Structure 1
């Protein structure tokens, strides 16, 4: 096996272009669209996706090295992209263990989809163990999510939001529901991010107004609290 070369995935030239834009991105409080476009073209969004699904097939340790390399040029860009890599990392854990259910994340990342992490909620110290967002089951197996998520990095750019909510109405409830919703009119992104040094993450507040996850994007239903399921303790 050949030695891992970070520059093969994140070239010096690309890194320098990203570095040259970082100060202006923060000063202007905007999302680094150019960085995302170039990283997408370079295949960076799929570094954790297996080769057979169109990705680079890297491991978590290699991705960590690349993220540190990216952060030397633009910390905010690295942090924003990291939230996408969280979901592709979870999908990698699933596939490595032979657990089905997140293949669409890998295929989507390879095709250029951008996945955001919609878990954080104001005042919710339970994080993955609980949620103040409501998850309403629909007859077709889909779920409608209503609530407010905070620190949603990649806010202007994501195409799929991985999130959780609490189903309190099903006979086996309460159940924590993990799913992915597309960007639709049922999702409102507030323009409320202005954190010096990290403005480029655009980690805005996200309002969910019965935002619907299709049945095939409902990944897990698990009991609230600590849970050995890989979606919680992967």
Structure 2
């Protein structure tokens, strides 16, 4: 019997990924076949509870899986890693007694795909500040206006985690929330063309007054 990583990602599967990788990069297209293969095997549910079809892997085992995947198809591994980071964070919070991100694991188990809309052009502070504007709306919703870059999984995400700065009333706050795909004001630019990583399709995402309802806002943090 092999290691958990070898059982989850057997050699024959990785050989298919390895064969596809050069073609994805040459054509500058998303790794749809790889992604579908991984999703059908439950790879996107690695950190979900076993009762929800997940593997409930520990971090070391998950890292071993990702290293094994990256050795065959680096861009595929990077793309899917963006989803797995969200589910890993949610899993760690649960283990520490904070269930506030449990909805991420629940929705991932149901097939939702999570992506990062955090990086911004010209923002060297990364997560410690934001140049995206978050304006409070009636009922606790927020309207986000700004530009996000390196949005891996652009063709397939269904939940995009974003943040912006709210300066209305009191001290400025960084407001975090999830956009549901299809929301009004989301504009995805087909501008990704990075050699070796083209299959991630990490396009620029413009938020043109995208409203996130209060139930999808999950953090308010001080700047810095």
> Could you say what secondary structure the match of 1:140 adopts?
helix
Q: 1:128 maps to which residue?
A: 127
Q: 1:179 maps to which residue?
A: 177
Q: Write the distance in 2 (CA, Å) between the matches of 1:174 and 1:3.
A: 51
Describe the superposition over 1:34-56 as per-residue Cα deviations: whole angstroms up to 9, x where unpaired: 11111000000010122244321
Q: 2:82 maps to which residue?
A: 83
Q: 2:150 maps to which residue?
A: 151
Point out the more displaced range, 209-218 or 84-93: 209-218
TM-score by length of 2: 0.95
TM-score by length of 1: 0.91
Point out the more displaced range, 29-38 or 102-111: 102-111
List alignment gaps of at least 5 residues for structure 2: none
Q: Write the distance in 1 (CA, Å) between the matches of 2:24 and 2:43.
A: 20
State the shift of 1:172 in Å.
3.4
Q: Does 1:194 align with 2:193?
A: yes
Residues matched between the structures, number: 223
Q: 1:230 maps to which residue?
A: none
List alignment gaps of at least 5 residues for structure 1: 226-234
Q: Write the distance in 2 (CA, Å) between the matches of 1:27 and 1:164.
A: 33
State the shift of 1:4 in Å.
4.5
Q: 1:205 maps to which residue?
A: 204
> Could you say what secondary structure the match of 2:138 adopts?
coil
Q: Write the distance in 1 (CA, Å) between the matches of 2:76 and 2:147.
A: 24
Point out the more displaced range, 148-157 or 171-180: 171-180
Counterparts of residues 15-164 of structure 1 (less than 5 Å):
15-164=14-163
Q: Write the distance in 2 (CA, Å) between the matches of 1:47 and 1:174.
A: 36
State the shift of 1:154 in Å.
0.7
- Measured on the aligned residues, the alpha-carbon RMSD in Å equals 1.5
1:54/1:107 contact within 8 Å kept = no
Describe the superposition over 1:153-188 as per-residue Cα deviations: whole angstroms up to 9, x where unpaired: 11111111011111111x333111111111224111
Q: 2:222 maps to which residue?
A: 223
State the shift of 1:24 in Å.
0.5
1:26/1:196 contact within 8 Å kept = yes
